[in-house]
Structure 1
Amino acid sequence: MDAMLIIALVFTVLILVLIIKGLMIIQQSEAVVIERLGSYQKTLSPGVNWIIPLVDKPRSIKVRRYQAIGGENVAVVQEETRIDRRETVLDFPGQSVITADNVSVTVNGALYFQVIDPERAVYQTENLIQAIEILAKTSLRSEMGKMELDKLFESRQEINDKLQLVMDEAGNKWGVKVTRVEIQDILIPTEVEDAMRKQMAAERERRALVLRASGEREAAIAKAEGEKRSSVLVAEGKKEAAILMAEGQRQAIDQVLAAGNEKLDPQLVVGYLLGLEYLKTLPEIGKEGDRIFLPFEASNVLGAVGSIEALLKGPSK
């Protein structure tokens, strides 16, 4: 009886030990891949789980951790059985890239990924972090090698989108979702940077010259347009003045002819009016010197004036 009790107690203790040893508490956003006798059995989800001790065994996965060594954070690869399903950042160091115009630049960036299928993450690649990093580097060289240096700085977001597409497609078979890729820095050689700085200065100077020339051209066009309008207005003024003068002369001729009872020769009247205009200009001519030279035709004009005045006064009594 005592022997049976001891056996029962031992059996009970063994059962309790097995139960306790088989209990596994999985934290939120974690997963554990369980193998039974070397083959995949199941994936443990967050909460309380139980496995068969000595038969079921968690499968480890390689992860990268940073440890403070000598005052610096050093990346260390470790093997862990718990798979972190949260978004993880992979900061890969600077990579040398040759652009399409044969310029060597150094590029570093960061990649954000999340494990969505722990089974694939464990079995589809021997070292998940290393596989992602190598693929990111090769994809980065490939995409940036298709572009010239000037376009790299303008197309950073385009490069990010293409890298994310390539990485996400490859990551699916590894059970990984690449959420985003970011190019952090693009470092160029000093001599290339100096050349680009000079090129930018020359480009700014060229644009300034173009703007200055454009302004001068517009100013010249505006000035020419103003002179054109001014000439048109002057011509229109002269035209109207000539019309008014002709109208005034016509009215004067009509008045003279009316005063002469239509017995006067119109040509003689015109000569008379011209003579009057000529006489009006003599005072102005006299202001310019102490001598006045009259052309020979002036006597004819003055004679016409006298004839008309005589006719208008009528015969003397």
Structure 2
Amino acid sequence: MDYLIIVIILILIVFVLAFKSVKILRPYEKAVVERFGKYQRTVESGLVFLIPFIESIRKVDLREQVVDVPPQEVITKDNTVVIVDCVIFYEVTDPFNAVYNVVNFYQAITKLAQTNLRNIIGDLELDQTLTSREMINTHLREVLDEATDKWGTRVVRVEIQRIEPPKDIVDAMSKQMKAERMKRAAILEAEGYKQSEIKRAEGDKQAAILEAEGQAEAIKKVADAQKYEEIAIAEGQAEATVDVYDAIHKGNPTNDLIAIKYLEALEKVADGNSTKIFLPAEMSGILGSIGGIAELFNDKDINKKEKISKKDKDPKIDRIMKKVEEQSKKAKKSMD
């Protein structure tokens, strides 16, 4: 019975010694080994053997971790109180420094982030604070990364979660934004109206130009048509005159025929209600023609062949003849 108890005790001692001497580290872990409280070595992941009751181990997680910085009130450069909080992402790069250079890393980095947030935002006005999140993130990350370098950690990134101004400031900013949007809408509407009027004026101008060009082209076409018509009429009259002139010369008319035609023309001139007859100014030629006419009517042979009774005489011819004689007498007197 005593032997069994001794075996059990020995087995328990072996298990305790094995538990104390063998440690397993996961792939994302590293550890520092201490011997009698003094740093001995840094071990990698895997199976680690220790001297029981002489060596101890302290594990360090190498994965990226998150620190949520609590909200705090910060005064901006223009004396506006805003509530700001952020999130910090970090990872351990040196287990020795992470274990021996800082007591409570979480608390240390939280306080460091809060103080640096006050410094950064205190140099900015409210509008800059609200619109410069990226700049604040970058600046804060650089400050924290430099400060935590001796702690064996690296600050990966910093993100501002919230920047909340007071309610009255938010209301004022909302009104300002609304007014600005209304202003832009009015400007865009006026610009659209301006562009519309410009386009309409350009269209009217182009239409007027095209209409004027069309009218000018039409007038030109009409003028060309009239010109061609007048030229054709003039050419026709010229050809007709030339043909008549040629026909007269080819026919070789006698003075008798000319006298008869002259009398026929006078008959047409005298045919009307007018009491006066104006003869041409070339009196010498007219008198010669009248003389030929007188000889024609005084010829005895013609009077015998073409004897006409007084009843059959045309009163118009008598009137013309009287007027011709009177005009010829006046013309002779004026020439004398």
* TM-score for both structures, normalised by structure 1: 0.62
The size of the alignment, in residue pairs, is: 233
What does residue 39 of structure 1 align with?
A: 38
The answer to whether the Cα contact below 8 Å between 1:120 and 1:175 also exists between their aligned partners in 2 is yes
What does residue 163 of structure 2 align with?
A: 186
Question: Quick one: distance in 1 between partners of 2:196 and 2:182?
Answer: 21
What does residue 222 of structure 1 align with?
A: 199
Deviations 1:254-290 (A, max 9, x none): 34434544999xxxxxxxxxxxxxxxxxxxxxxxxxx
The answer to whether the Cα contact below 8 Å between 1:144 and 1:152 also exists between their aligned partners in 2 is yes
2:217 aligned partner, one-letter code: E
Aligned positions of 1:14-93 closer than 5 A: 19-20=17-18, 22-28=20-26, 29-52=28-51, 55-57=54-56, 81-93=58-70
The answer to whether the Cα contact below 8 Å between 1:26 and 1:44 also exists between their aligned partners in 2 is no
Question: Quick one: distance in 2 between partners of 1:259 and 1:48?
Answer: 129
Question: Quick one: distance in 2 between partners of 1:198 and 1:171?
Answer: 43
What does residue 98 of structure 1 align with?
A: 75
What does residue 281 of structure 1 align with?
A: none
The answer to whether the Cα contact below 8 Å between 2:20 and 2:53 also exists between their aligned partners in 1 is no
Deviations 1:74-104 (A, max 9, x none): xxxxxxx543333221111012233344432
Q: Secondary structure at the match of 1:217?
A: helix
Which has the larger displacement, 42-51 or 131-140?
42-51
Question: Quick one: distance in 1 between partners of 2:30 and 2:14?
Answer: 25
Higher strand share: 1
Question: Quick one: distance in 2 between partners of 1:180 and 1:119?
Answer: 23
Structure 1 residues 238 and 121, CA, compared in 2 at 3 Å: closer, same or farther?
same
Aligned positions of 1:269-280 closer than 5 A: none
Choose which of 124, 127, 134 in structure 1 pairs with 2:111: 134
- Higher Cα Rg, which structure: 2
The answer to whether the Cα contact below 8 Å between 1:168 and 1:177 also exists between their aligned partners in 2 is yes
1:201 aligned partner, one-letter code: K
Aligned positions of 1:191-210 closer than 5 A: 191-210=168-187
Question: Quick one: distance in 2 between partners of 1:110 and 1:148?
Answer: 22
What does residue 113 of structure 1 align with?
A: 90
Listed as ranges, the gaps of 5+ residues in structure 2 are 1-6, 242-336
| 1:174 positional shift | 0.7
The answer to whether the Cα contact below 8 Å between 1:18 and 1:52 also exists between their aligned partners in 2 is no
The answer to whether the Cα contact below 8 Å between 2:21 and 2:52 also exists between their aligned partners in 1 is no
| 1:200 positional shift | 1.3
Q: % of aligned pairs identical? A: 41
Question: Quick one: distance in 1 between partners of 2:150 and 2:232?
Answer: 114
Question: Quick one: distance in 1 between partners of 2:238 and 2:47?
Answer: 139
What does residue 239 of structure 1 align with?
A: 216
The answer to whether the Cα contact below 8 Å between 1:26 and 1:45 also exists between their aligned partners in 2 is no
Structure 1 residues 46 and 237, CA, compared in 2 at 3 Å: closer, same or farther?
closer
Higher helix share: 2
Question: Quick one: distance in 2 between partners of 1:232 and 1:244?
Answer: 18
* TM-score for both structures, normalised by structure 2: 0.58
Deviations 1:282-317 (A, max 9, x none): xxxxxxxxxxxxxxxxxxxxxxxxxxxxxxxxxxxx
| 1:147 positional shift | 4.0
User: Are 2:228 and 1:251 aligned?
Assistant: yes
1:23 aligned partner, one-letter code: S
The answer to whether the Cα contact below 8 Å between 2:34 and 2:41 also exists between their aligned partners in 1 is yes
| 1:126 positional shift | 3.3
| 1:151 positional shift | 4.2
Deviations 1:7-39 (A, max 9, x none): xx9xx99x9699457425244234443444443
Aligned positions of 1:164-179 closer than 5 A: 164-179=141-156
The answer to whether the Cα contact below 8 Å between 1:23 and 1:48 also exists between their aligned partners in 2 is no
Listed as ranges, the gaps of 5+ residues in structure 1 are 1-8, 59-80, 265-317
Structure 1 residues 54 and 248, CA, compared in 2 at 3 Å: closer, same or farther?
closer
| 1:145 positional shift | 3.8
User: Are 2:102 and 1:125 aligned?
Assistant: yes
Q: Secondary structure at the match of 1:177?
A: strand
| 1:232 positional shift | 0.6
Question: Quick one: distance in 2 between partners of 1:17 and 1:216?
Answer: 91
